[in-house]
Structure formats: structure tokens, C-alpha cells
Amino acid sequence: MNPTTGASVVANPSITTVYNVVANNGYNCYGTAIYTLTVGQYPSSLTAQANPSVVCPGYASTLTAFGANSYTWVGASAGFSGSISQQSISVGYVNATVIYTLIGSNGGGCTFQTTSSIIGNPNGLTIGISRNTATTCIENNAYKLSKPVVLTASGAQTYIWYPYDPSIMTGSLGIQVTVRPHASIIFTVQGFNTTCAGQKTIDVTVIPQFTMNVVPPLPVMCLGDSLKLSITNISNAAVGPASAFTYSWTDPQAISMNPSAGLSPTVFVFPQSTSTYTSEVLDSRGCASMPGLITVTVLPSPLNSIAIPTINSVPTNTLCYVGNRPGPPDINLNLTGVNKNTNLPFGVVPSYTWLAPNPKYPSILTSPFLQNVTINAPIKVPSVITYTLKSGYNGIPGCADFDTVSVRIIDCRSVGSFTFETAEKLDTICSRTCITFINHADTASGGPQTYTWTFPGGSPSISYDKNPTVCYNLPNKYNVFLKVRNPYPLTSSSGQVGSEGLKGVDGYIKVVDVPNVTIFSPGQLHSDSTIRFGQNITLNGTGAYRYNWTPNYNVTSLTNPNVVVNPFRTTQYILTGYNSAGCFSSDTLNVIVIEDCGEMYVPNAFTPNNDKANDVLYVRGICLESISFMIFNRWGEKVFETTDQKIGWDGTYKGEALNTGIFVYRLEGKTHEGKSFSAKGNITLIR
């Protein structure tokens, strides 16, 4: 302060200072006063902040002052007019860049000012969208969802996605969503921050589903049957190769499909009621086809029966066979098929197919596909034939029920020509034996029939059996007669009912005595005969018309009564004598052979010099049935071999005469009695 006295002084403090003043009035009367001089600071650190500095339509920005004790905001022409004294103010969107002035004061008249700009943005935020794929396809027909597509937004702080469908989107808020649309669609995302917003659209293309068919197109089956369903005609829109395709079926009844997993293009179904099956194909991309829906109509199994006609209140299943002759009027029979199913669906009509027992002989006179058919008997046998009815619906495969009816065939022809014969084809029979007669009238003429047999000299002499057996005691030739009668025709112009025929054969049966066959050997006193080995003996037979000898062993004839035999071992000969094919007897005789074989040996020397004496070396002895005779030189080389006792060695080898020398032989054999023997030794060849 300068000066410090006087009524007025000039003070220039640097800080706030309290001043004391003392004054007197000249009369030594004093007074005091105090004055505080406040020293203020300029707000040189004054700042103004705009948050945000860019404003979009519909949003506001906050201007906040710092660095002074009091603040005054001065508006611009595009903002607000006048001034506002407060630290913070809010200003709205202006489509321009607006500069606002801030005046700050710390008191004492010390002020400072600054400015802040706010930019008006008429376009909003710039939002970005990306996707992991532009196209997708339906991968599941059950929920009709496509393969997932991930959408990602950028350029804001918060986001809202629409149109929002929770069945195909993971959410509607957030920077990223996963969508699985049913069809091609455009999604919009809105992005926000505190003072601005913006939006962007993006499209997701859903590839149209490819097509396929399920066959058969209108399947119908019967309860209890099975049906084959197949996926076929997969369109070219499916991406192959076909080996990469996968298949799926949905079984509405859970246990009515095989294979149960349904992973094959073909399945067999056996529903218990009408059911709809769903199928689809996934190609190599995992894209699903349009669903294949096929409804399998299940009909009840057909129940049928055969009705036979009623004549005079009595059901009848009898037919007359008349052949080419006139017969009774009831030669045809009507059979009716009856379907017992009720409440069949509209349009389902029972079908009928009649099967004749023998296609070779047509017996169904009407169409076999009618409910009612008329049949006749084209042949006589068998006496009972069976007709089969197959019933179904409209020819649906697998829907079938079978019923049968037995029809009895009666021969209604009048008696015609006929024959008879014996059961065994014999020219004669033995006395005191019986024979059966076979009547062929049942196949040669009408029936049913009655039979009257007459057998003069036979027992019984009369028989009414169809195939009687008759016995004859004495040798002779006998006549046989057969009368056949039946009740057809039932009526005739003469009034006679029925018909008959007669057949007789003179001397048809020849009866002979049983032969008494005997064997004897001339000069032998006993029934058995004895000879030495190598001898023969004569055997004579008597007592029959014709003969047969057994066994066929060294005998001169098998059919002559007198023969010569030359057995090598004891043998029993049997002679069978016949007076007819069925009338015979036998006798036996033993020929005992006494073995007297003598010595069996090989000479120890021979002289093959063509002097016709001892030129050939033979094995000596009788009773030999088989031999094996071998000769070796001194070096062990085989020079001769034979299995025939009648063949000997002439002293040669390979066509060359051998010189004088000693040779070794080996002999093995068996007699006619089955005894084996062997021998070996030396042979001297002398020239």
C-alpha cells in the first residue's frame, strides 16, 4: 500500500488482505475501522466438454463446464438464445455444427471464456452386418428348421434384431444371433449408443428343398400282412454322390417298421391300423428333401366261406358224372362265396377267385372270378375233389383268405362194357388154393353198382362182393361169370329203371396139382452122392412140367431135368419143378467131393530143346483154384510170371532163349477148399 496516510490510499495486495484504518478529528479523538480487500484469480483453466460431441436426430448432448466458480453459457443462433448460468446444460440436435460460448468467473470481476462445438449428424450410426454363409437349406422336416446361419453386427453398443421369431432365432438382442429360417428372409438389426442409432438389413437365402417319391403311391394292405415302402425318384437338385445320401423314416406306431431305425431307402411296415409314415432324404450337404408322406390303409383280413346249394331242405355237395351219355338233370352244382367282413371302407369290394382241383380237366363252367360259380364233373375220379376259394379285396396283393369245399363225384352213367381179371397174373393155380378176382366195371361203366359173380366149381360159387376171393380144390378148367347192375338212367322211355351188363369167360381158371419133384443119381443108393475131386456125376429130376436148377455151379443146364455136374467142392443142388407159375415144389441133393489132390510141386529141372519132352516147365498138382508163379535169374531179375496153371515157362525171356543155368522160383496159391499155400526153390535149365 502506498501511501499509508491520508484519506485515500492505493493498495495492490497479491492475496486477500484485511486493512485497519485509524482516524482522529484533531481533538485527539480517535476512531478505527477494518476493511477486507479480497484478491480474486482469473479462471485461466476454464474448459467446456460436450458429451457426446456428435448428436443424432432425437438425441441431446450435455455441455459441462470446469475450472471456475461460476459459469454462464451463451447460446448460438442455431442452438438457443440468451444465456444460462449453470455448470451443465443439455442441448438438442441441430442439423449443423454449433459453437457454444462459456464464460467462467472466480469473483472479483475476474472472468474467462472458452467455446465447445457439437456436430449434428442427420444420418445416424453406420451399422455393419456379417454372416457365416449367404445360403442355407432345411435340414430337418420334423421342425422345419434350416441349417444354422450366424449373423454378427458392428458399429454400435447395443443391438435389436427383427423380425423376431423365437422358433428360428436364438434371441433378438446382442451383437450376434443364430437363425434357422424356414424360408428365405430379410433380417434387420438396429444399433444404438447413448446419443445415436442406426440400422442395417441382410438377407438369408434358404435353398428350395429337392423332391422325392415314396412308392407304392396309394398303399393298401390287410391286417397281419407286411408292405414294402421305398424312396425313389430323388430329384437332380439333391447334391450327390448318391452313396452319401442318408435316409430316415418316422414310425407312427413305434413297432410297425423293419428295420426299426428306418435308415434304409426301403422299409417293410406292418401297421395294426391305417397309419401315415414320414420319410426324408439328406443329401451330401446335409440338406433335407421335401417330406415324403405316405398313408398305408389297413383293411381287416378277409373272412370267407363257401355255401353249397340246398335241395329239398338238405345241403348237397354231390355231382353226377355222366360222360358223353345222357344222364340225370343234376349234373351241375352251384357254389357261392360269402365274405363275412362288415363295415368295409367305401370303394373296397371283395374279390373272388375259384381254383379247380385239376387244371387239366376244366370243371368250372362260369368265370372263376365270380362270387357264384357253376361246376360239373368232367372226369369220374377221384371220387372226392376239393375246390378252393381265394377271397380278397379289389385284387390287393397279400389280402387273401382261403376256404375249401369237398365235392363228391358219383358215376351216373348206365352200365357199359367192362372186364375182370385175377389179382395175380397166373396162367394156372394149384389145387386147394384161392384166387382173388378184380372187377374193372367201376372204371369201365356207370356206378354205383351191384355185382353178381358166378363161379361153377369154386367156393363160394356165387359172390356179391366187388372183388371176391374164390377157392378151387380139384384140377380142371373153370368158367367165370359177372353181372353188373346200376340204377342209371333213373328214367327211360320204356319205363325201365337202371341198366345191367353180363360178361363170362369159359375155361378162365385152370387148376393143376402141386408137383412132386424128386432128384436121383443113377447108380447111387443114397439121396446124397459122393465123387472124387475132378469127377462128374449125372443128376435126374422128375415129377413136374418145367424145371430150374440152382446154384449155377458147374452144371450143364439150368432148365433140363437131367444134368451133369462137376463141382470142385461139396455142393447142394436144388431142383424146383413147376406145374404152373404159382404151383411148384423143390427137392435137394448134396454132391460130396472127396479131396484127393496129391502132391503140388514145381519140377527142379527141364530141357527146353524142342524134343517134345520136358520142353515146358509147369506147376504140377490138382485142386488148385488160383496160383501166382514167378521165376527169377541169379541177378534177381524176373524172367517169367503167370497166374494160370495151364501156362508154363519155355526157357525164354523177352523172346530170347536163355542159356543153361540155375533159376529161383516163388509159388503162391489157394485150393478150391480155400486153403492157401506157398513154396520156393531152384530150377535148373538144361540146354
Q: What is the pLDDT of residues 167-212, one digit of tens each?
A: 999 999 999 999 999 999 999 999 998 888 899 999 999 999 999 9
Least confident of 225-234, 519-528, 554-563, 637-646: 519-528
pLDDT at 447 (0 to 100): 63
pLDDT at 448 (0 to 100): 63
Query: Which comes out higher in pLDDT, residue 27 or 247?
Result: 247
Determine the 3-state secondary structure of 682 from DSSP: strand
- The C-alpha cell of 677 is what? 499155400
Q: Rounded to 10 degrees, what is the CA torsion of 152, 158, 160, 161?
A: 0
Mean pLDDT, rounded, for 153-157: 93
Res. 57 pLDDT band, cuts 50 70 90: confident
Residues 6 or more apart in contact with residue 249 via CB below 8 angstroms: 229, 257, 262, 267, 277, 278, 279
DSSP 244: G
- The C-alpha cell of 421 is what? 381179371
Mean pLDDT, rounded, for 459-475: 94
> Does residue 684 carry a pLDDT above 90?
yes
Residue 441 main-chain phi, psi, to 5 deg: -65, -30
Residue 322 main-chain phi, psi, to 5 deg: -120, -10
Res. 529 pLDDT band, cuts 50 70 90: confident
Mean pLDDT, rounded, for 408-432: 82
pLDDT in tens, 541-552: 998 989 999 999
Specify the pTM. 0.47
pLDDT at 469 (0 to 100): 95
Residue 463 main-chain phi, psi, to 5 deg: -145, 145
> Does residue 399 carry a pLDDT above 60?
yes
Please enumerate, as own/partner, the contacts of 146-150 that have beta carbons within 8 Å and a separation of 24 or more: 146/180, 146/181, 146/182, 146/206, 147/180, 147/286, 147/287, 148/178, 148/179, 148/180, 149/178, 149/179, 149/180, 149/181, 149/204, 150/176, 150/177, 150/178
> Does residue 519 carry a pLDDT above 60?
yes
Tally Cβ neighbours within 10 Å of residue 665: 19
Query: Which comes out higher in pLDDT, residue 635 or 672?
Result: 635
Do residues 116 and 90 lie in contact, with contact meaning Cβ atoms separated by under 8 Å? no
Mean pLDDT of the chain: 87
CA dist 482 and 420 (Å) reads 8
Res. 357 pLDDT band, cuts 50 70 90: confident
Among 280, 257, 255, 278, CA closest to 267: 257
Do residues 537 and 591 lie in contact, with contact meaning Cβ atoms separated by under 8 Å? yes
Of 98-107, 246-255, 294-303, the range with the highest mean pLDDT is 294-303
Of 354-368, 484-498, 631-645, the range with the highest mean pLDDT is 631-645
Do residues 532 and 593 lie in contact, with contact meaning Cβ atoms separated by under 8 Å? yes
> Does residue 679 carry a pLDDT above 70?
yes
> Does residue 563 carry a pLDDT above 90?
yes
Least confident of 12-16, 117-121, 531-535: 12-16
Mean pLDDT, rounded, for 458-472: 94
pLDDT in tens, 564-605: 999 888 899 999 999 887 788 999 999 988 877 767 789 999
Q: Find cell 405316405 and name the residue.
A: 294
pLDDT at 327 (0 to 100): 46
Mean pLDDT, rounded, for 475-484: 93
* Residue-range domains of the chain with CATH: 47-120 (2.60.40), 128-207 (2.60.40), 213-299 (2.60.40.10), 304-411 (2.60.40.10), 420-512 (2.60.40.10), 518-594 (2.60.40.10), 605-685 (2.60.40)
Q: Report the share of the chain in percent with pLDDT over 90.
A: 44
pLDDT at 381 (0 to 100): 67
Res. 506 pLDDT band, cuts 50 70 90: very high
> Does residue 245 carry a pLDDT above 90?
yes
> Does residue 262 carry a pLDDT above 70?
no
